[in-house]
Structure formats: structure tokens, C-alpha cells
Amino acid sequence: MRKKLGIYIHIPFCIKKCGYCDFNSYEGMEGVIDEYVRAVKREISLISYELSAISYQPYKVISIFFGGGTPTILKSWQLLEILESCKKLFNLKTDAEITIEANPETLTLDKLKKLRRGGFNRISIGVQSFNDKLLKRLGRVHDSKKAYQGILSARNEGFENISIDLMFGIPDETLKDWEDDIETTIKLNPEHISTYNLTIEEGTQFEKLYSEAKASHYLPDEDRQVEMYERGIGLLTGTGYEHYEISNFAKACSERSESNGRKCLHNQIYWRNEEYLGIGAGAHSYMDGERRWNIKNPEEYINRLKIRERHAKRKPSAFSLQPPTAGSERLDGNKVMGETIMMELRILEGINLKSFKKRFGVEIKSTFSDAISRLLSNNLIIFENGHLKLTHKGLLFYNDVAAEFLL
Ligand code: SF4
């Protein structure tokens, strides 16, 4: 039986770099986009060739996720060419989830129409807030009007699975601002909502701005962020959204198989530590117990693939053997187990103990007995209905819980 696989395509370009962002994304590189699209298509060919050399396409692709950066900075035909390459060269499940991340500023009716007709069936729109003052604080290029228009246009052009990203803990944000953002979002009726709290990451403009003690009072403190997080959960679950992952909420949907509803299939692959293939600059893959990552800089990534293609013309076998990899590591069994527990605890239904034993051949309780005892005695995790899951307190202190399984 073929193994299931998710494919991630990284598009590392943005109109403007947001002050809080530490993703592999760049502003002012529009000039290399054409070449980048060609390089991504070459990488897709390389990997498909490589996989076919091992065994005839051992994977069934259940999801493709175009993330960034801002994928919708590309022209629709460029995005569709990449998607077509995936469809042609990989075994794609007929009802695969095909997501594109979008910045409202880059959405036009024409682009949305073409993307929907071309096969994208899910769109994840980076709204962050409907409050123009807060959008300015974040340094976003769009305003609330563009966000509304983007969501309504996506719906009109046939997207039946829309996800909205929101952010809380923004400088100067009040609890009332956050409640207004959630209520506005609920009225727009998206199938899926992600709520992330702003974190100040190393090397970002925000780190410089907010690391000085005198500026720190602009940021909502930890207690206020917890209050916002809990208020968000209350409002969203109170209107029928299932809180299924620490930061994610989804509607139920009778048409989708099993109980998945509108939960993001692609992200569940990461949270369950299952196999995925990353394509594009800086993209990570996890397949056959090996993690590997690509060259991070887009121009170096493009160059590497140009060189490989020249080699490939002379010697076809090299074509399959030299992807634009920057590094790799083979994970030992204990590390995989620890990481799987850490990631899967993010899903609120928790870790199925029988499935864990089937996958790793050991019991969680005996393998991680010390960590589990400590977390149980601190009321951070609980065993319930054959699952190991976070308590409400564990949700708030997830980072401390996760650290126990990484030791
Ligand atoms: S649009 Fe997204 S990826 Fe681009 S800079 Fe802003 S936060 Fe980062």
C-alpha cells in the first residue's frame, strides 16, 4: 500500500518584510520570481525522478500546501504551472487538499477565479486583524478593507474552504480589540480560523524595537495574552468552531470523510510527525526517517538547480541524485518518539495510545515514565479514553510540556 505524503511548496517573496516576521521571506526580489518558478519545477522533476528510482511512486499525496512568504505574489499562471507539475509527476489523491496562503493585498478577482478553477480548493488568508491601527503596528501592507474584499471575493469565486489567520498580543491591542476581531471573523463565516499570539523572534525588527525596557510597555503582557487566548477560545467554541489544535479552530463538515471536518489536513501531517516533502528555498522534508532541508537563499537555490540541470543533460543519473539540499540528519528512534509526542500533544484529542504502540512498538508510559509522572503531578497532561492529552493548564504551558519530551 502506498504511504501518504504531504507536499509543501515554499514561495519566499513578500511585498514588504513585516517587522515581526522571522520566516524565510524576502522583499524586493520580484526580479528573480520567473527563474524561481523554473527552479521549483525542476526540483519537482528531480524528486519525482528520485522517488521513481526507489520504487514506482511509493507515495499517495493527500495534500499540497503553497506557503511563504506570500505565494499569491506570483501570477496565477506561475502558481498553476507549479501545481500542474505536482499533479503530473506525483500520485495525487483525487480529493487532495490543495491550499494556497494569501496576503489580502495580492488578491484580485481574476487571480482567485483562476486559482480556484486551476485546482486550489482551500485558501488561507493572512488577515491578522481587521483593525487598521493594529495592522499598521504590525507593518502589514494591507488594510481591513482589502481583508474583507479578499475573503468575500474568495467565497464568490468558489472557495468553499477558507481559513483566516488572526493575531493577538499586538502592540497597543486591548481585550476589546481582540474580541472585535474574533466577532468580525465569525460573521464572515470561514471554515477554519487560526489564532496566533505575537512572539518577538530573534533577529527581527520587533526584537530591536521591543527588547529595550522602555519600549516593552507597548506590548500586552503575558497575563493579558492568556486572557486574550482564553477569550478567543470561548467566543469561537461558543459559535460552533471545534478547538482542535492549540491555535486552530475548524467547523464540522458532513461531506468530508471521517471526522476531519474542515481541520487542516496538511498541518495535521506535521502535528502527527508523518511524512512530508518540502520543495523550494529553505523547505524541509521528512521522509523515511530522514529530515533534510534545502538551501535557504532563493538566488543560491536557483543557481544550484541551474548547475544540476546542466549536469543532468550530460548524465541523466545525476539528475535524480543531486537535489538542492543544504543538510540532512537521520533521526534515531527515541528522538522521533519524543518529537512525535511533543507535536501530537498540540492536537487537543491527544495521542492515541494504541496507535503509538503500533507505530513505535513501545508504551508511552514506560518509555517516558519520569516526564509523564512530573507532568501528571503538575496537572499539565491527563490520560483519558485511551489518549494522552493536555489539560487546560497544559494548553497554557505547552512549551514547558514539550520541553519534557525533548530532553
Ligand atoms: S507577509 Fe507573512 S511571510 Fe511575508 S513578511 Fe509578512 S509575516 Fe512574513
Nearest-CA residue for atom 3 of ligand 1: 69
| 3-class secondary structure, 63 | strand
Interatomic CA distance for residues 382 and 391, integer angstroms: 6
Which domains does the chain carry? Answer: 3-271 (3.80.30.20), 333-406 (1.10.10.920)
- Mean pLDDT of the 333-352 span: 94
Res 58: pLDDT = 79
- The strand pairing partners of 163, in sequence order, are 124, 192
Buried b (16+ CB within 10 A) or exposed e, 303-322: ebbeebeeebeeeeeebbeb
**Residue 290 cell numbers, joined:** 530522514
Ligand 1 pocket mutation pick from 66, 101, 103, 167 by most atoms within 8 angstroms of CB: 103
The pLDDT of residue 27 is 97
Q: Spell out the alpha helix ranges (H) of 202-332.
A: 205-211, 222-238, 265-271, 298-314, 316-321
39 CB-contact burial (10 Å; exposed 0-12 / middle 13-18 / buried 19+)? buried
Centre of ligand 1 from the C-alpha of residue 92, in Å? 29
The per-residue pLDDT for 211 is 75
Please write the tens of the pLDDT for every residue from 77-109: 999 999 999 999 999 999 999 999 999 999 999
253 or 344, which is more confident: 344
Ligand 1 touching residue 21 (CB < 6 A): yes
- Average pLDDT for residues 195-219, to the nearest whole number? 82
Contact 247, 196 (CB under 8 A): yes
Out of 4-13, 214-223, 298-307, give the one with best mean pLDDT: 4-13
CA dist 157 → 76, 103, 105 (Å): 14, 16, 17
Check residue 174 and give its pLDDT: 95
H helices, E strands: number in the chain: 17, 17
pTM exceeds 0.85 for this model: yes
311 pLDDT tier (thresholds 50, 70, 90): low
Model confidence at 281, pLDDT cuts 50, 70, 90, reads: very high
Rounded CA separation 154/104 (Å): 10
Average pLDDT score over residue span 274-289? 96
Distance CA 206, CA 236 (A): 29
pLDDT of residue 363: 94
Contact 85, 45 (CB under 8 A): yes
Average pLDDT score over residue span 252-256 = 63
Q: Does residue 49 line the site of ligand 1, with CB under 6 A?
A: no
Is pLDDT above 70 for 256? no
Residue nearest to atom 5 of ligand 1 (CA): 17
CA distance to 230, 289, 311, 396, per residue, from 321 (Å): 49, 18, 11, 45
Residue 17 has pLDDT above 60, yes or no: yes
Confidence of residue 334 (pLDDT cuts 50, 70, 90): confident
Following DSSP, what letter does each residue of 78-145 receive, concatenated?
Answer: HHHHHHHHHHHHS-EEEEEEEEEEE-GGG--HHHHHHHHHTT--EEEEEEE-S-HHHHHHHT-S--HH
CA–CA dist 46, 161 (Å, integer): 31
Residue 146: which pLDDT band, with cuts at 50, 70 and 90? very high
Write down the pLDDT at residue 320. Answer: 47
Identify the band that residue 316 occupies on the pLDDT scale cut at 50, 70 and 90.
Answer: very low
**Residue among 13, 26, 70 whose CB has most ligand 1 atoms within 8 A, to mutate:** 70
For the cut 50, the answer to whether the pLDDT of residue 337 exceeds it is yes
Q: Across residues 5-15, what is the average pLDDT?
A: 97
pLDDT tops 60 at residue 169: yes
Residue 134: how many other CB atoms lie within 10 Å? 22
